[in-house]
Structure 1
Amino acid sequence: MGLPPLENVTWLLLRVTGEGIHPPIERVAPVDLRPEDVPAVPPGPGRVLEARGYTDEPFFSGQVVSVGRSAPFEMPAEGGPAEPVRVVLRRVETWVPLEDAQRPGECLHLTEPRAGHTATLLKDGRVLLAGGFQVDGSGNAETLASLEILDPGGRTLSFLPGAGGGAARRAFHTATLTPGGGVLLAGGEVSQAGVAVPLRSAGVWDPVTEEVQGFELAWARSRHGAAMDSGGRVLLAGGVGEAGALVPEPEGVDPQALRGFSVPQALPRLGASVSAVQEGQRVAVIGGSDGTALVPEVLTFAFDGATFVPEATGARLRQPRRNAALAPFAGQRLLVVGGYGSPEAPEINGNALPMSEVIDWSAAVPRVSEGPSFVARGDVCAEALSAGRVFVAGGRRQDPASFKLVSSGLVEQVIPTASETSAVLGQPPLASARYLHTCTPLPDGSVLVTGGLDDSLGSPVIQESALIYMPVPRD
């Protein structure tokens, strides 16, 4: 379980942040905290109480070794918050498995090991894990239909073996949080007699009933990308369709109406990256392969009242790539991380890339510039942290002896600097290498990593772990 959060902690720095609180309200107190040591919280919405554990007095020789933050809460003008404010301290710069609240001292494991699944942060701070696959004793993939709800703060896991008529076995699908708090599960594939069969099915998981309401898409697609615009509409782009052919065009989805709608634009892509940009006014489709060549163009789609309409931005990647990761990066910039520099399947010609690119959306024409360098790999996860930082973990790298792609446990963090390229800091690696995993930023500033596939030692092993990493604060 690692060191307890208060191990070697002698002092606490308590901070209150929120709307209109500049600078943060801070108070230093001994570790044996008393109620009167907690600073007064001004009335207003979005208040956050943070605690940092130090080995000695903060601002002198003390080193921060643990951090915890509450969920945002509203402080009324009179009385206290509507619910108790909870702060969970976590050790910094170390991978810690979640402890099972019902079995103190034991680790919390996924009920079913899974890879190729999705993990979606819900509005109440819980995380919905959906689908994926595991490997049987003969090495064959078994597609999962189950859902699991992980509560990182409460340290509990709820297993949902079936979620109503809209649930389906699916892996390599997309999951998108809807404005109403549900989760849109779209497409994916199921393994049948060793053959991957793309799915036309989609559904919206309801957090109240914990069931999925299903509907059909126009196109069967798997291994695609998805992003939601500011109006709550989702664009599905790229992917593999029936008979292994690339899906020829995107499709829009209205999750509230439980229906898809046509997007008549030729866009066969595999390994393209999809993200909302410009505060959700547009959805960008970046890179990918058209089956024969890598596509450098950066294309955006905007909703015109009836469907998503493509817009040529004129922007092009400096290094065309597929299977890259995207993360918001310091303002209206988007960081494009890693991927593969060949249009073929990575297993045929991996060519993992070490460089990244930055797309600046603040101008009328997006500007593409060189980004920081990473250890070469593709299929990484990249997630935005506070203060413009980006967390990058796992993926696949080329083995120096065999040149084959193998899973990686490397972890890096991008720190914005005065220069355009910024700085990349190596972080403690994952104990088990993995790709096809998930990374989820949590409200307290930590990152949750679940599942994934480890083939670094030969035979594939599907992970069942749920790990937490808390970066060191930079403010």
Structure 2
Amino acid sequence: MAPRTAHWLVLACTSLTILGCPSDDGSDGEAYVYEDALDSLDPLVEPRFQHTATALPDGRVLVVGGTLATPSSMQLDSYVAEVAVWEGDAFVRGASLAEPRAGHTATALSDGRVVIVGGTTHVGAPSPAFGVEVWDPASESLSAPGSLDFNLVGHCAVATPEDRVLIIDDCESSGCTVASIDPDTGSYESLGGAPSHRYALDLDCAALPDGRVVLGGALDEATDEAAPALDIYDPSSQSFTSVDLPAAFGREATVAALASGDVLVIGDAAGVEPGGVGTLGVVYTASGEVRALTGEAGAINRAEHLVTPLSDGRALVSGGLVALSPELDDAPGVDLVDPAAGTVTPVPGSEVSFGTRDGHAGALYADGPALLIGGRVGMDRVATVHVFR
């Protein structure tokens, strides 16, 4: 794929702008009030699968990488060597990546830069992507300050209070790959620590306000079954602490930091059969409490799903598969998590308007409406964009 020259579209902010007009700091000065409605928007420039979407401080949304091709074309996936930016009512092409990649992480720092690490690339044949790339919203350009000497596929990444990127990968009870990446140099410092449980190859985690990191989807070392626990990593002591949960969430559980500072663990809930209701997730609060989330009628116990936190402390859970279903059925629609009420409820009409998909990405625009972007429907990559507002 030939690299493209970066170019940008400057949009006037008027009363006709679909999603509202952020101020210079990315907010409109007032708390966004959701209508709890899901709509379709104009599509991406091209389909993407296993890409990332990252909210920027100026209110825009950065989409990085992914794959394009459909397996039905009998061709290998074409990896996207570029970024795209949502400017308020459309995506525009941005800078070119040094190496195309998918399955990576793109972590926002407090100064607005986004650090891109890991995943796989496709130059001749699929292989790990070792380079560290940084997107700078001030210059609207990408830089490649350095490379790692180990591969990251299925890792998780969070920003630290010091504006570094903490990555965790390959977690067994004997230890994890833990490193702190310097975005200025691309170099890293290896850290230590061994959790009380093992974790799946596709690891998920989220940071608490004090810098500790919550890992979800704990597995029992002896049985490989879901364990009713989570592990919390403390970078300052390079150690893990185990926390008991009222229910077990398996290898396909998803972890996300909520606007409140609490952390959501949801999905692949053990014992919740397809079509059944029960404890679909938990919230681990910044003060150390554990609160169960009960699925109401129509909510789905999902696997391989996406969680998109909202600015009011709630979160969307979309797409993926029906956990524990014999045929791994696609999970339609979008569910809404309300930690204050302790509930998970379906978004009305989303089974039809959103349908089924996986490998999509989500982020907030201007600290308000949530964009659900791209993904795969069946075996086909799609360019669709939905907005929850």
TM-score range, shorter chain: 0.7 to 0.9
Tell me which residue corresponds to 1:451.
374
Letter of the 1:117 counterpart: H
1:11-410 map, 5 Å: 69-72=20-23, 93-98=37-42, 109-136=43-70, 137-138=73-74, 140-151=76-87, 153=88, 155-160=89-94, 162-163=96-97, 167-191=98-122, 196-207=126-137, 208-238=139-169, 248-266=176-194, 269=199, 270-277=201-208, 279-288=209-218, 293-294=224-225, 296=227, 297-304=229-236, 309-316=238-245, 318-328=247-257, 331-339=260-268, 355-363=279-287, 366-373=288-295, 374-397=299-322, 403-410=326-333
- Whether 1:467 and 2:386 are equivalent positions in the alignment is yes
Following superposition, the deviation at residue 422 of structure 1 comes to: 3.1
Greater alpha carbon shift after TM alignment, 324-333 vs 142-151: 324-333
Contact 1:68/1:89 (CA < 8 Å) preserved in 2? no
Following superposition, the deviation at residue 328 of structure 1 comes to: 4.1
Contact 2:358/2:375 (CA < 8 Å) preserved in 1? yes
Contact 1:228/1:283 (CA < 8 Å) preserved in 2? no
How far apart, in 2, do the equivalents of 1:89 and 1:329 lie? 16
CA gap 1:294/1:352 in 2 versus in 1, 3 angstroms: farther
How far apart, in 1, do the equivalents of 2:67 and 2:111 lie? 28
Following superposition, the deviation at residue 115 of structure 1 comes to: 0.5
Greater alpha carbon shift after TM alignment, 133-142 vs 213-222: 133-142
Following superposition, the deviation at residue 313 of structure 1 comes to: 4.0
CA gap 1:302/1:439 in 2 versus in 1, 3 angstroms: same
Post-superposition Cα deviations, 1:126-147, rounded to whole Å, max 9, x if no partner, equal 1111111122411532222221
How far apart, in 1, do the equivalents of 2:45 and 2:144 lie? 23
- TM-score, with length taken from structure 1: 0.65
Following superposition, the deviation at residue 435 of structure 1 comes to: 0.7
How far apart, in 1, do the equivalents of 2:360 and 2:210 lie? 26
How far apart, in 2, do the equivalents of 1:114 and 1:210 lie? 21
Contact 1:272/1:288 (CA < 8 Å) preserved in 2? no
- TM-score, with length taken from structure 2: 0.77
Give SS of 1:258's match.
coil
How far apart, in 1, do the equivalents of 2:277 and 2:170 lie? 21
Following superposition, the deviation at residue 331 of structure 1 comes to: 4.0
Contact 1:338/1:355 (CA < 8 Å) preserved in 2? no
How far apart, in 2, do the equivalents of 1:180 and 1:148 lie? 19
Post-superposition Cα deviations, 1:194-253, rounded to whole Å, max 9, x if no partner, equal x7532322221222141222411242011211111222222211259xxxxx99522221
Following superposition, the deviation at residue 462 of structure 1 comes to: 0.2
CA gap 1:409/1:248 in 2 versus in 1, 3 angstroms: same
Give SS of 1:427's match.
coil
Letter of the 2:165 counterpart: V
Contact 2:175/2:192 (CA < 8 Å) preserved in 1? no
Give SS of 2:247's match.
coil
How far apart, in 2, do the equivalents of 1:218 and 1:408 lie? 38
CA gap 1:196/1:423 in 2 versus in 1, 3 angstroms: same
CA RMSD of superposed structures (Å): 3.7
CA gap 1:453/1:228 in 2 versus in 1, 3 angstroms: same
How far apart, in 2, do the equivalents of 1:145 and 1:290 lie? 39
Post-superposition Cα deviations, 1:103-124, rounded to whole Å, max 9, x if no partner, equal xxxxxx3223111000111111
Contact 1:441/1:447 (CA < 8 Å) preserved in 2? yes
Letter of the 2:68 counterpart: Q
Following superposition, the deviation at residue 184 of structure 1 comes to: 0.4
Aligned length: 353
Larger radius of gyration: 1
How far apart, in 1, do the equivalents of 2:157 and 2:235 lie? 15
CA gap 1:191/1:405 in 2 versus in 1, 3 angstroms: farther
The one of 401, 415, 427 equivalent to 2:348 is: 427
How far apart, in 2, do the equivalents of 1:328 and 1:200 lie? 26
How far apart, in 2, do the equivalents of 1:213 and 1:341 lie? 42
Following superposition, the deviation at residue 310 of structure 1 comes to: 1.6
How far apart, in 2, do the equivalents of 1:217 and 1:117 lie? 20
Give SS of 1:197's match.
strand
Contact 1:300/1:312 (CA < 8 Å) preserved in 2? yes
Post-superposition Cα deviations, 1:409-428, rounded to whole Å, max 9, x if no partner, equal 3111123455xx33524333
Give SS of 1:141's match.
coil
CA gap 1:248/1:282 in 2 versus in 1, 3 angstroms: closer
